[in-house]
Amino acid sequence: MSTNHDTPVTVLGMGEMGRALAGALVDAGVPVTVWNRTPGRAGALAGRGASVASTVREAVTAGPLLVVCLLDEASVHEVLDPVAAELAGRAVVNVTTTSPAQARGLAAWAADHGAAYLDGGLMAVPEMIGRPDALVLTSGDGGVAERYGDLLGRWGTVDHLGDDPGMASLVDLAMLAGMYVMFAGFFHGAAMVGAAGVPAREFAARLAPFLTAVTGAFAEYAEVIDGGDYTVPGQQSLEFSDLSDVLEASREQGVPTDVVAPVQALLAAQVAAGHGSEGFARVFEGLRSRRSPAPA
Ligand SMILES: NC(=O)c1ccc[n+]([C@@H]2O[C@H](COP(=O)([O-])OP(=O)(O)OC[C@H]3O[C@@H](n4cnc5c(N)ncnc54)[C@H](OP(=O)(O)O)[C@@H]3O)[C@@H](O)[C@H]2O)c1
């Protein structure tokens, strides 16, 4: 990995995240040029040494590395299409959230215009940028990841997931699926005890260490899923995992079962198919893609 903090970097998008990314580079002494559709959003960055470009063209042509942090795929095209001819020979690091297919489409579009493309997934909120617990997933052009890895490392811990430009986005969104369902579980539990007058704060203080402890089971479940044998002894069975009591208690508290009922349905489907004595991780079988995995 090269170390080059003299490389001029352009950051397109001065939203919450774009400002944090640009700020971390400015703090590292990197020459940074920023641009935003709505002027005046660079905030304190200008005073800290960033150059504020007044046009996208001015921003794009300021250096070899272009960081794109906009709202969505459509906004990336809206901003870059008019200056596509300026992209040749530059590297585009797009950390805008897109679907994997959109990321692959953007990589192909960039290649058509002579640009190298690295997609990024930021597993962090803006306040975390610059800390090691901010995970920066990347995939796509390995040369860009290598050349600018030290700069990207200013944002957090970089994890390059290979040449498929869609992989960073896929893993990012899969991780968010896990996070949002977990948060919904917290909201459900808080509603259950809230109906009995227990403040959410008190419930959160109990739930957080419990969830931290039980996530240790991910690795064990993963072993079973990857091995494909749900009959390995020592697993919690599907029948034992039945959520009827949770559903009943929810109804007693007047809490809708929208969050928990789908989990019970996944369990019940496996039990109905005759797998009740097998491991809880068999729920994965009801969710797995019927498509063959893409070749590595
Ligand atoms: N914030 C987070 O915690 C977080 C975490 C991980 C990933 N991300 C991703 O990072 C990206 C930026 O997030 P953010 O938090 O910075 O969002 P944000 O504060 O809402 O900022 C959105 C940015 O996109 C620009 N934009 C939107 N539509 C545009 C268009 N059609 N043309 C040009 N510019 C446009 C906005 O410009 P204007 O100022 O002109 O509206 C603004 O600079 C998103 O894809 C988000 O999913 C964010």
β-pair type (9-12, 91-94): unpaired
DSSP track, 108-141 = HHHHHTT-EEEEEEEES-GGGTTSTTSEEEEEE-
Q: Give which of 93, 114, 218 is closest to 158, Cα–Cα.
A: 93
* Torsion angles phi and psi, residue 138, rounded to 5: -135, 155
User: What is the C-alpha to C-alpha distance for residues 216 and 139, in angstroms, rounded to an integer?
Assistant: 27
User: What is the C-alpha to C-alpha distance for residues 205 and 214, in angstroms, rounded to an integer?
Assistant: 15
Q: What is the whole-number distance in angstroms between the Cα of residue 71 and the centre of ligand 1? A: 4
For the chain, the residue count is 296
Kindly compute the dihedral angle of the four CA atoms of residues 97, 134, 16, 106, in this order, to the nearest 10 degrees. Answer: -20
Other beta carbons within 10 Å of 118: 29
Shortest-distance Cα residue to atom 7 of ligand 1 = 122
Whole-number pLDDT of residue 290: 79
* Torsion angles phi and psi, residue 167, rounded to 5: -70, -40
Shortest-distance Cα residue to atom 29 of ligand 1 = 75
Whole-number pLDDT of residue 30: 97
Evaluate: CB of 24 within 6 angstroms of ligand 1: no
Q: What is the H or E stretch that residue 9 is in?
A: strand 9-12
Q: What is the whole-number distance in angstroms between the Cα of residue 238 and the centre of ligand 1? A: 42
Whole-number pLDDT of residue 121: 98
Whole-number pLDDT of residue 296: 59
User: What is the C-alpha to C-alpha distance for residues 165 and 71, in angstroms, rounded to an integer?
Assistant: 18
Q: What is the whole-number distance in angstroms between the Cα of residue 12 and the centre of ligand 1? A: 10
Nearest atom (ligand 1) to Cα of 123: 6
CB-CB contact of 192 with 168 (8 Å) = no
The answer for 116, left when phi > 0, alpha when psi is -120 to 50, beta otherwise, is beta
Please report where in the chains the tokens 């579980």 appear, as a residue: 185
Whole-number pLDDT of residue 289: 82
* Torsion angles phi and psi, residue 33, rounded to 5: -115, 135
Evaluate: CB of 98 within 6 angstroms of ligand 1: no
Shortest-distance Cα residue to atom 30 of ligand 1 = 75
Nearest atom (ligand 1) to Cα of 122: 6
Shortest-distance Cα residue to atom 34 of ligand 1 = 37
Whole-number pLDDT of residue 279: 96
Please report where in the chains the tokens 């304190």 appear, as a residue: 44
The encoded tokens of residue 274 equal: 């005759």
The encoded tokens of residue 58 equal: 């001015």
Give per-10-residue mean pLDDT for the chain (296 aa): 77 98 97 97 93 97 98 98 98 98 98 98 98 98 97 98 98 98 98 98 98 96 96 93 97 98 97 97 93 69
Whole-number pLDDT of residue 166: 98
User: What is the C-alpha to C-alpha distance for residues 285 and 240, in angstroms, rounded to an integer?
Assistant: 18
Q: What is the whole-number distance in angstroms between the Cα of residue 256 and the centre of ligand 1? A: 34
Q: What DSSP designation does 158 have?
A: E
